[in-house]
Amino acid sequence: MGFFSLLVLLVFNFSFELGGAALHEIGPGVLWSAFVFACLLGLNRSFADERENHSLDALLMAPGDRGAIYLGKMIANLVFLLAVELICLPFFALFFNLSPGFFLLPLLGVLVLGSACLSAAGTLFAALSSTMRLRELLLPLLLLPMIMPALISCVKATGLVLDNQFGAALYPHLKMLAVYAIVFVTLSLMLFEYAIEE
């Protein structure tokens, strides 16, 4: 996943004149494009072990709440995605001539909220598509339209942070991301056992 994200950043580096004005125009979009593609790669593998070993049946028979399976997978996906993002950030800074500054902490906040949204929705759709034959094709088809609102807020929020605008303009996007993550986690906990049943 990390290598794929770096590859995407590298491709954009050679495609566009990065640095300077490009940082504000296309930087956030480049960053989140890399993260979304990496996320899709990771999500396709979310339930691969359970599918290959048929061990999801054993997890379904366990006495706990089935939503715990979703939560465990979602947190694992979130951790992996955050790790990929932290690896990519220095390279992003390098390609876009970005110097470390006060924006780093708010940027991390946007990354965490955005990744939570991707993981929350992505894990549910990964579970749904894991039982289908064309899962690698279906997952992006199902997921990308659903995460579009969150993705727009991620890109806008990242742009504002990189422009050092931390005030009233940023708050609605952060609120949108937090609400999206909460709504999707709640919905997923309710729907997960129906998504994976035969």
Partner 1 sequence: MPDDGLVIENASKHFASFIALQSVHLCIERGQFVLLAGANGAGKSTLLRLMAGISRPSSGRILIDGKDPQRDAAARSAIGFLSHHTLLYDDLSAEENLVFFARIYALESPRQRVDEALERVGLSAHRHRRLRTFSRGMRQRLALARATLHNPAILLLDEPFTGLDQPARTALSGQLRDLKQAGHTCVMVTHNPEEGADLADRLVVLRRGCLCHDQAWKGSATDLATTCAPFWDGLR
Site residues (CB under 8 A) for partner 1? Answer: 49, 52-55, 57-65, 197-198
In contact, 41 and 74? CB cutoff 8 Å = no
Minimum distance from residue 171 beta carbon to partner 1 (Å): 41
Minimum distance from residue 84 beta carbon to partner 1 (Å): 22
In contact, 185 and 120? CB cutoff 8 Å = yes
Dihedral angle of Cα 54, 140, 124, 87, to the nearest 10 degrees: 90
| CA-based max dimension of the chain | 56
Q: Which is nearer to partner 1, 25 or 57 (CB)?
A: 57
Minimum distance from residue 42 beta carbon to partner 1 (Å): 17
Minimum distance from residue 3 beta carbon to partner 1 (Å): 21
Q: Which is nearer to partner 1, 17 or 52 (CB)?
A: 52
Q: Which is nearer to partner 1, 35 or 192 (CB)?
A: 192
What whole-number distance in Å separates Cα of residue 28 and Cα of residue 25?
8
Q: Which is nearer to partner 1, 25 or 49 (CB)?
A: 49
Q: Which of 193, 181, 52 is nearest to 112 (CA)?
A: 181
